[in-house]
């Protein structure tokens, strides 16, 4: 067989293997999301993915390895949501007239929407609460760090009321957003745009100076689609 044909065959196999791996990750996420990590079975995951148990084990030697892959995929999605915002929070310049506090409002809306729609992201956050196995990355902790850095920059730039300590605000934002994620397991309304908007309507007056409050949108702006 000609070398070119061998290369093409190899590429086809690699692409097929990559598609199978992605299908298994999504199927695992959907199963973990529905049943929980401890109850979910590899047989149920392989059945949902439409592959044999042998094919699953070829890609993932254990349920823990599969859970790690789900969490890594979810982390990629989280970083996409906060991507430009995260770079801004680490010292980049926002567009003229933009606000880090508004950015935080927008990204929380984006996160809630993504959690509603994406089982991989939901499963990744839920797996962050699993203490029975080593984890490649704790999504809830990564989210806390991003919120903390964004608010630290907002405080340094004078966006916060003098009495609004950034650390206290971090606690409120992270507790609320993670709480919405957990409560939404039973009732999806906790991740609705209306719920997130009500939260910000309550928090913004305690967070930003009164003379600037009218410039903020608790319902989010176009940037929420990041």
Q: In this predicted model, what pLDDT tens digit does every residue of 15-43 receive, in sequence order?
A: 888 999 999 999 999 999 999 999 999 99
pLDDT over 70 at 140, yes or no: yes
Average pLDDT over residues 46-70: 94
Residue 147: closest CA among 209, 207, 212: 207
Residue with tokens 């996409």: 80
Give the model confidence (pLDDT) of 63-102 as tens digits.
999 999 999 999 999 999 987 544 545 445 566 557 999 9
132 phi and psi angles, rounded to 5 deg:
-90, 5
Q: Is the pLDDT of residue 211 over 80?
A: yes
Q: How far apart are CA 127 and CA 29, in angstroms?
A: 10
In total, the chain counts a number of residues equal to 226
pLDDT attached to residue 134: 54
Q: Which of 73, 218, 90 is nearest to 65 (CA)?
A: 73
Calculate the average pLDDT of the chain: 87
What distance in Å separates the CA atoms of residue 30 and residue 67, rounded to the nearest whole number? 11
Q: If you search the block for the tokens 């109850």, which residue do you land on?
A: 39
pLDDT at 189: 95
Would you state the structure tokens that stand for residue 186, as one six-digit string? 């039973």
In angstroms, the CA 138 to CA 74 distance is 10
The tokens for 16 are: 């097929």
Q: 101 — phi, psi (to 5°)?
A: -65, -45
DSSP string, 125-176: HHHTT--SS--S--HHHHHHHHHHHHHHHHHHTT-S-TT--HHHHHHHHHHH
> Residue 165's pLDDT is what?
84
Q: Which two tokens stand for residue 194?
A: 């209306």
Q: Is this model's pTM higher than 0.75 or not?
A: yes
Kindly indicate the confidence band of residue 223, based on its pLDDT and cuts at 50, 70 and 90.
low
pLDDT of residue 4: 56
- Counts of helices then strands in the chain (DSSP H, E): 9, 0
51 and 20 Cβ atoms separated by less than 8 Å: yes
Rounded to whole angstroms, the Cα distance separating 197 from 211 reads 20
User: From CA 166, how far away is CA 170, in angstroms rounded?
Assistant: 6
Average pLDDT of the segment spanning 50-54: 93
């Amino acid at each position: 067989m000609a070398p070119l044909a061998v290369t093409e065959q190899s590429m086809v196999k690699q692409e097929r293997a990559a598609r199978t791996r992605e299908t298994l990750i999504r199927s695992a996420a959907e199963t973990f999301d529905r049943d929980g990590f401890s109850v979910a079975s590899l047989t149920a995951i392989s059945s949902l993915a439409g592959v044999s148990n042998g094919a699953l084990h070829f890609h993932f030697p254990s349920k823990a390895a599969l859970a790690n892959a789900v969490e890594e995929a979810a982390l990629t999605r989280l970083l996409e949501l906060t991507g430009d915002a995260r770079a801004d929070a680490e010292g980049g310049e926002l567009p003229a007239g933009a606000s880090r506090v508004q950015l935080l409002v927008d990204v929380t809306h984006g996160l809630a929407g993504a959690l509603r729609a994406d089982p991989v992201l939901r499963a990744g956050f839920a797996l962050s609460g699993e203490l029975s196995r080593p984890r490649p990355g704790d999504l809830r902790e990564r989210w806390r760090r991003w919120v903390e850095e964004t608010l630290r920059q907002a405080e340094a730039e004078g966006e916060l009321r003098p009495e609004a300590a950034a650390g206290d605000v971090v606690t409120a934002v992270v507790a609320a957003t993670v709480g919405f994620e957990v409560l939404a397991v039973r009732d999806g309304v906790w991740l609705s745009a209306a719920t997130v908007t009500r939260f910000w309507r309550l928090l913004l007056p305690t967070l930003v100076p009164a003379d600037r409050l009218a410039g903020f949108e608790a319902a989010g702006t176009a940037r929420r689609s990041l």
